[in-house]
Chain A
Amino acid sequence: MSDDVLADMVPDGDAVAMDFALGALDGPALRAAELRLRRDSDFAIDVARWQADLAPLVNAVAPVAPPLAVWSCIESELFRGPIATPPPSVIARGVDSTVKLWRGLAFGASAVAAVALALLVSRPATPIAAPPPLLAASMASTNAAKAVMITATYDPARGAVILTPAAKDASGGLTPELWVIVGTDKPVSLGVIDLHDPQAHRVPEVLRSRLTNGATLAISLEPDGGSPTGQPTGPVVAAGKLTVI
């Protein structure tokens, strides 16, 4: 088969998925591909496949020892208490892309947020001695219908989120991944989940402090095994805020 015939066989979507996975796009083409990644699950699958095919190439790169100071920075960032203002040089780009990533989510979650806010305003303060209250989020789908897709209830005593799907599985062969967003922080993964059946999803101990009143839970569709980047890469299909119940 000639190269021309091969090139002609590439459907447009697949070609852009290939370009995106390779990292060769920039400017408007890159932004269009990022947008499509969130909205088009077929495209997201294509990208994930190309990324997986190309991934072994990184193993051929020669190692270079980093300076000792890098480890000290990691240690102080993670283990010396929360840092109110992260170094702008490290985080600026992250915030920017987070804002873009979650802009769609904000619209989808606005109805839920309004309800959550109304509940918060009328709620008396919780007595200090009370057992940790349950927190629940009705996670509305981010499409036009805004139907409740799944109910998530966090039980601090069990350290688990109980997920009760209300609609049928709409993951289309991708892996749903659960995220928590606190304030303006980047989304933090709580792991891949199943949208078929109700389940108790254990939350790693180090992440439990993030599940607080007002934090947002969201579900994105990711490649097999979950997001390869540590941030949502696929379309956000449902989101809602945690509220004390």
Chain B
Amino acid sequence: MSGALNIVSHLAGIAAGDRAALKHLYDATSAKLFGIILRILAERSEAEDVLQEVYITVWRKAAEFDATRASPITWMATIARNRAIDRLRARGSRPTTTLDLAAEVVEPSPAADDLIDSANDARRVTAALDRLDPRHAAIIRSAYYEGMTYQALAEREGMPIGTLKSWVRRGLIRMRGELA
């Protein structure tokens, strides 16, 4: 059974109310999702709250997951990212702390192999991003991975927000062109 299928079967178990399936899914995917959330929120206690929310959502939404339409990891990762950004925006004016992620202790997920199935898509998009102007790509990465707004990015880069927006938009259109 491939990794993605394994996760799909956990989701099917969860949809049928199987608690053990939720634990298996959590063991296989929580490190991945926590990485995504922590990268956006930086603050551990908040990231832990959001991770909890994400699995509660997955427990309630598992019946709706359609394996023919989306990779299970991408589906869960999108939920995690959206929740983390919601939380980030809810902070309001509280300053965002920066975190050197390289300094974090990274333990490989026990089921890291399960995630390989979605890696091909990731490679294609990353490659498309790598072909952009490096400055444009860096800004798109900050927006996507750190949840930074145009406003925050323009301040950090010391450039007009209009120019920054146009870099990002052009970059994304080029990226989509590469994927087509």
Contact = CB atoms under 8 A, between A and B. Distances in A.
Interface of A: 3, 6-7, 9-10, 15, 18-19, 22-27, 30, 50-51, 53-67, 69-71, 73-74, 77-79, 87, 89-90, 92-94, 96-97, 177, 188-189, 191-192, 204-207, 224-230
A92 B49 CA distance: 12
15 contacts: A15-B169, A26-B152, A56-B124, A58-B80, A59-B122, A61-B32, A61-B39, A63-B31, A63-B112, A65-B107, A65-B109, A71-B26, A177-B64, A191-B63, A228-B82
Contact of A205 (B17, B86, B140): B17
Given A56-B124, A57-B144, A63 B32 contact: yes
A22 B172 contact: yes
B169 A224 contact: no
Interface string B68-90: 01100111011111110111011
A61 B169 contact: no
Contact of A57 (B38, B53, B125): B125
Contacts of B135: none
Interface of B: 15-17, 19, 22-23, 26, 30-32, 34-36, 38-39, 47-49, 51-53, 55-61, 63-64, 66, 69-70, 73-75, 77-83, 85-87, 89-90, 101, 104-109, 112, 115, 118-119, 121-122, 124-126, 129, 140, 143-145, 147-153, 165-166, 168-170, 172-176, 179
B172 A62 contact: no
A74 B26 contact: yes
A94 B47 CA distance: 15
Given A18-B172, A56-B74, A58-B77, A63 B109 contact: yes
B121 to A, nearest CB: 4
Given A23-B144, A50-B172, A78-B59, A59 B64 contact: no
Contact of B122 (A60, A70, A189): A60
